[in-house]
């Protein structure tokens, strides 16, 4: 009977698929979708990308300020309201929630030369790196130096054994790890004068394939000993190692004029004011991150110019009367990644209070050369919401229309830019994954549901080859369409729209359930059942949020199951004892994720409390890792769920985890003052 009920529910939902089967656009009137599709311009977005990607955009730097001024100037030219570049002091001491402010970093000059002996003197022979020519060749947070020294190969450089029997004091070390990972040992402990790294890009199928890529490098933001580091290609690194292995002497001269300095985080923001007197104080936010190395085209000039194009398009169509002004205000935000968003939501709490949903774009323009796959990523299970279903509806429609155009040469809405490609979009609908500002919005401190549009993998991320040449205007237009349609719908959504959204929620529920059935095929029956229980809980809470968002007059939590699960009994009384019944609640302060940029709040406070690092942080689940388990465990610590229930929830998301591992982490959070036991 249970299987029959599930089968009937599945069939019922499939029969009502609105976006997968229908030819007409979902949720919005067709005239609105047509206006958006016609006006959005991938070329305009890419022209703005060309401007931003000329700047080396480190937090608080001159390059970041130039990019911020460019965005603000465009926003004003497009007619947006309340255009500002907000400034927040950053001196390395001030905290914004969990983020210890990092001082801005600038570089004026840096060169690395190989020297050749000419008599008794060393003379320049080969310039190996130049900040002027390639800013990414100087690791972020390098400090000024004028050093002549021999080069010593220390392998990866991350373990003491790498330095055994080697005299590196006053020398420059060649390492294969990121400079920040070796800084404590190489410089602080063993006295190296500087670092050269040929660290590779993020590990994907293309890892190490292109020997000419130079990866963006980072030193520690709060080091015990300051130093400098240069980044070189894998080809250069291998050549240097080979020469050293065969007994050659390599003498280098490094000149660096750079360093941290007190300054400001800068966040650009602008609005399209809402029309409804009661709802205009509610906001739908578009987010990206403006920082990163030059060129940093896909990561993340692409997200920045796409939300700028959404802003231009919506403002123009509203001004021309082709779109009605939405009830809610639409806000656009261009911050430094993660740390800027944590800073903004802590320093200006009214932003966090007003924003009801965010649309975050991080890497949305990768063309075929990048090997990028475009994702529409859901939020975490700890924050049930319908907003992701809205994005899926428009992405389904874009998939359908762009495939139809690619396959037949004709479609009502091909969403093609004249200077771009014609391939189908094929957006993937993905479960929650971490790695950008959507983590901040959806952290339990703020609980702002966020649509996350992103490319992954991208073989050029964080390298000198993440250039405008690899950005596809058609991809920018399509990402802008999904974002613009989703945000405009949410900004205007009222009680009259709940039936449409509920229908789409059913479609998304079927997709999620099918994915869970595939992933959990080999799990014990109780773990499978656990998944369906949490699915019904999620769906019920998401529907409640929908009704609240739409300001329905009567809001009642629906009975479960909704669309996906088999009706299962809750666990019997007394089935859990001891620490499994402990209930924790997150404290009001500090706000923000515990691991932010350049600073780990949890690790820092663990040391002060004399607590060893909990096993959860290094735990590897079936389809999740320690960072994700930890994020969701803290999010679920809301004073309602006990430890066993939290364990069950994160096991559904990322694979089964022992209860004692979850309890150990919760108790560590308590000792660091992040959570308290609820009584």
Please, are residues 267 and 333 in contact by the beta-carbon 8 Å criterion? Answer: yes
pLDDT exceeds cutoff 70 at 323 = yes
What local confidence, expressed as pLDDT, does residue 540 receive?
87
Nearest Cα neighbor of 207 from 392, 29, 461, 31 is 461
Question: What is the average pLDDT across 418-428?
Answer: 97
Residue-wise pLDDT tens digits, 606-631: 999 999 999 999 999 999 999 999 99
**Measured between alpha carbons, how far is 26 from 17 in angstroms, rounded to an integer?**
10
**Measured between alpha carbons, how far is 507 from 502 in angstroms, rounded to an integer?**
9
Give the sign of the dihedral formed by CA 491, CA 492, CA 498, CA 499: negative
> What is the DSSP secondary-structure string of 663-676?
HHHHHHHHHTTSEE
pLDDT exceeds cutoff 50 at 300 = yes
Residue-wise pLDDT tens digits, 652-663: 999 999 999 999
* Peptide bond between residue 590 and the one before it cis (omega within 30 degrees of 0): yes
What local confidence, expressed as pLDDT, does residue 570 receive?
52
DSSP state of 618: G
Domains in the chain: ranges and CATH:
21-101+263-496 (3.40.630.10), 105-260 (3.50.30.30)
Nearest Cα neighbor of 479 from 642, 629, 365, 325 is 365
Residue-wise pLDDT tens digits, 29-82: 999 999 999 999 999 999 999 999 999 999 999 999 999 999 999 999 999 999
pLDDT exceeds cutoff 70 at 376 = yes
DSSP state of 366: B
Question: What is the average pLDDT across 7-22?
Answer: 45
pLDDT exceeds cutoff 80 at 14 = no
Residue-wise pLDDT tens digits, 446-493: 999 999 999 999 999 999 999 999 999 999 999 999 999 999 999 999
What local confidence, expressed as pLDDT, does residue 573 receive?
55
pLDDT exceeds cutoff 50 at 259 = yes
Question: What is the average pLDDT across 536-544?
Answer: 89
Question: Is residue 535 very low, low, confident or very high in pLDDT (cuts 50, 70, 90)?
Answer: confident
Residue-wise pLDDT tens digits, 107-142: 999 999 999 998 889 999 999 999 999 999 999 999
pLDDT exceeds cutoff 50 at 5 = no
Q: Is 559 exposed, middle or buried (0-12, 13-18, 19+ CB in 10 A)?
A: exposed
Question: What is the average pLDDT across 366-387?
Answer: 97
Please, are residues 215 and 200 in contact by the beta-carbon 8 Å criterion? Answer: yes
pLDDT exceeds cutoff 80 at 539 = yes
Q: What's CA 297's distance to the chain center, in Å?
A: 15
Question: Is residue 576 very low, low, confident or very high in pLDDT (cuts 50, 70, 90)?
Answer: low
Please, are residues 198 and 234 in contact by the beta-carbon 8 Å criterion? Answer: yes
What local confidence, expressed as pLDDT, does residue 218 receive?
97
**Cβ neighbours of residue 513 closer than 8 Å, sequence gap 6 or more:** 10, 532, 535, 563, 564, 565
Query: Percent of the chain scored above 70 by pLDDT?
Result: 93
**Measured between alpha carbons, how far is 469 from 453 in angstroms, rounded to an integer?**
21
pLDDT exceeds cutoff 70 at 567 = no
Residues across the chain: 679
Residue-wise pLDDT tens digits, 343-368: 999 999 999 999 999 999 999 999 99
Name the average pLDDT for the chain: 93
Three-state helix/strand/coil letters over 130-196 = ECCCCHHHECECCCCEEEEEEEEECCCCCCHHHHCCCCCCCCEEEECCCHHHHHHHHHHHCCCCEEE
Question: Is residue 513 very low, low, confident or very high in pLDDT (cuts 50, 70, 90)?
Answer: confident
What local confidence, expressed as pLDDT, does residue 57 receive?
98
Residue-wise pLDDT tens digits, 169-224: 999 999 999 999 999 999 999 999 999 999 998 889 999 899 999 999 999 999 99
**Which position has the higher pLDDT, 314 or 576?**
314
> What is the DSSP secondary-structure string of 447-516?
---EEEEEE---TTTTBTT--GGGB-HHHHHHHHHHHHHHHHHHHH--GGGHHHHHHHHHHHHHHHHHHH
What local confidence, expressed as pLDDT, does residue 41 receive?
98
pLDDT exceeds cutoff 60 at 559 = no
**Measured between alpha carbons, how far is 481 from 466 in angstroms, rounded to an integer?**
23
What local confidence, expressed as pLDDT, does residue 577 receive?
65
3-state DSSP call for residue 356?
strand
pLDDT exceeds cutoff 80 at 569 = no
């Amino acid at each position: 009977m249970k299987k029959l009920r599930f089968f009937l529910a599945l069939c019922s939902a499939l029969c009502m698929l609105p976006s997968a089967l229908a030819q007409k656009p979902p949720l919005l009137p067709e005239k609105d979708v047509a206006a958006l599709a016609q006006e959005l311009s991938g070329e305009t977005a890419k022209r703005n990308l060309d401007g931003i990607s000329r700047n080396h955009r480190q937090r608080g730097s001159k390059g970041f300020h130039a990019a911020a001024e460019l965005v603000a100037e465009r926003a004003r030219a497009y007619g947006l309201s309340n255009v500002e570049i907000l400034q927040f002091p950053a001196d390395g001491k001030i905290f914004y929630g969990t983020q210890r402010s990092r001082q801005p970093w600038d570089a004026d000059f840096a060169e690395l030369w190989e020297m050749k002996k000419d008599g008794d003197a060393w003379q320049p022979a080969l310039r190996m790196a130049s900040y002027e020519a390639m800013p990414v060749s100087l690791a972020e947070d390098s400090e000024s130096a004028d050093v002549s020294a021999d080069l010593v190969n220390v392998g990866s450089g991350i373990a003491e054994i790498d330095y055994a029997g080697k005299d590196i004091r006053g020398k420059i070390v060649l390492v294969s790890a990121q400079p920040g990972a070796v800084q404590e040992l190489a410089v602080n402990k063993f006295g190296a004068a500087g670092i050269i790294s040929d660290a590779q890009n993020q590990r994907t199928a293309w890892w190490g394939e292109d020997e000419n890529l130079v990866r963006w490098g980072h030193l520690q933001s709060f080091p015990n000993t300051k130093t400098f580091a240069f980044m070189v290609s894998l080809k250069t690194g291998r050549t240097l190692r080979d020469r050293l292995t065969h007994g050659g002497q390599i003498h280098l001269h490094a000149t660096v004029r750079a360093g941290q300095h007190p300054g400001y985080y800068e966040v650009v923001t602008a609005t399209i004011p809402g029309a409804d007197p009661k709802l205009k104080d509610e906001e739908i936010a578009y987010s990206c991150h403006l920082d990163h190395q030059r060129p940093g085209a896909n990561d993340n000039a692409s997200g920045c110019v796409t939300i700028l194009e959404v802003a231009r398009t919506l403002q123009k169509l509203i001004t021309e009367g082709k779109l009605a002004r939405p009830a809610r205000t639409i806000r656009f935000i261009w911050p430094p990644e993660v740390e800027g968003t944590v800073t903004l939501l802590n320093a200006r709490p009214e932003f966090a209070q007003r924003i009801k949903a965010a649309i975050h774009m991080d890497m949305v323009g990768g063309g075929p050369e990048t090997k990028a796959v475009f994702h529409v990523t859901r939020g975490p299970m700890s924050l049930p919401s319908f907003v992701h279903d809205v994005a899926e509806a428009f992405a389904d429609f874009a998939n359908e229309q762009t495939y139809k155009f690619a396959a037949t040469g004709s479609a009502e809405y091909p969403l093609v830019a004249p200077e771009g490609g014609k391939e189908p979009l094929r957006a993937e609908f993905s479960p929650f994954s971490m790695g950008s500002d959507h983590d901040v919005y959806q952290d339990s401190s703020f609980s702002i549901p966020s649509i996350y549009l992103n490319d992954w993998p991208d073989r050029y991320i964080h390298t000198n080859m993440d250039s405008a040449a690899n950005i596809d205007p058609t991809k920018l237009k399509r990402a802008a369409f999904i974002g613009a349609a989703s945000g405009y719908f949410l900004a205007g959504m009222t009680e009259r729209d709940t039936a449409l959204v509920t229908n789409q929620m059913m479609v998304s529920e079927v997709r999620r359930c099918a994915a869970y059935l595939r992933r959990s095929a080999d799990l014990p029956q109780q773990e499978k059942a656990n998944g369906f229980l949490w699915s019904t809980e999620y769906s019920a809470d998401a529907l409640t949020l929908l009704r609240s968002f739409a300001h329905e007059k009567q809001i009642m939590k629906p009975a479960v199951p909704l669309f996906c699960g088999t009706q299962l009994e809750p666990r019997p009384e007394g089935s859990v004892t001891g620490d499994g019944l402990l209930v924790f609640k997150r404290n009001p302060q500090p706000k923000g994720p515990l691991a932010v940029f350049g600073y780990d709040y949890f690790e820092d406070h663990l040391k002060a409390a004399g607590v060893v690092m909990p096993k959860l942080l290094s735990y590897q689940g079936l389809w999740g890792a320690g960072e994700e388990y930890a994020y969701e465990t803290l999010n679920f610590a809301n004073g309602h769920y006990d430890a066993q229930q939290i364990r069950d929830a994160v096991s559904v998301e990322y694979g089964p985890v022992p209860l004692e591992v979850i309890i150990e982490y919760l108790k560590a959070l308590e000792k660091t003052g992040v959570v308290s036991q609820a009584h």
